[in-house]
Amino acid sequence: MKFFVDTADVAEIEELAVTGLLDGVTTNPSLVAKAGRPFLDVVREICALVDGPVSAEVTATDGATMLAEGRKLAALAPNVCVKVPLTWDGLKTCRQLRRENILVNVTLCFTPLQALLAAKAGATFISPFVGRLDDIAHDGMALIGDICDIYAQYPALETEVLVASIRHPVHLLEAAKLGAGVATLPPSVLKQLVKHPLTDRGLEGFLADWAKTGQSIL
């Protein structure tokens, strides 16, 4: 499973990139607004930090302007993945950008049939939002299962399922069990994955026993 981090904070990305765990980055207009820096500068810096895809979202809603924005974003770096919304204009833009060999992430997916449309339009990634569905008392992980099942029936569809709006480690666990290829996590959730009280307790015990020996490795 590929791990993407969902942030526009360059410092956070730099810290996580050195672990070797990051396969890519996703951003959106809300995350860029939090960063408080020029959008294009942020995208360039992130692309220089990671080798994998960096999703940068268009802000237009009409097809012609989406396409122009997508081409401008793609020109920033070879690993830019243009992010478009799951609308008719977004799907048209996706199709054209893919014809130009530009990576495309179709975002704001909430139904399996939307995901099927994105795959037929040639999307590199589809981003179903599990947390937002959970917020309105729908089963976000059921959506992931349905999309994975549908895509598996049609090997010609090459779109990867990029699980988004992850709120906690259980979302990631369930997505991995369902066979989703990619998950994008907030830095705080990614850092939670390493933690377990028994790991902390065991390390404390080992260190206490080592201190009793009076030895030093260095």
Strand partners of residue 57: 83
| Total residue count of the chain as it appears in this document | 218
Q: Is 83 a catalytic residue?
A: yes
DSSP result, the chain: -EEEEE---HHHHHHHHTTT--SEEE--HHHHHHHTS-HHHHHHHHHHH-SS-EEEE----SHHHHHHHHHHHHTT-TTEEEEEESSHHHHHHHHHHHHTT-EEEEEEE-SHHHHHHHHHTT-SEEEEBHHHHHHTT--HHHHHHHHHHHHHH-TT---EEEEBS--SHHHHHHHHHHT-SEEEE-HHHHHHTT--HHHHHHHHHHHHHHHHHT----
Dist CA 75 CA 131 (whole Å): 32
φ, ψ of residue 9 in degrees (nearest 5) = -85, 105
Determine which one of 34, 83, 177, 195 is catalytic. 83
The catalytic site residues sit at 83
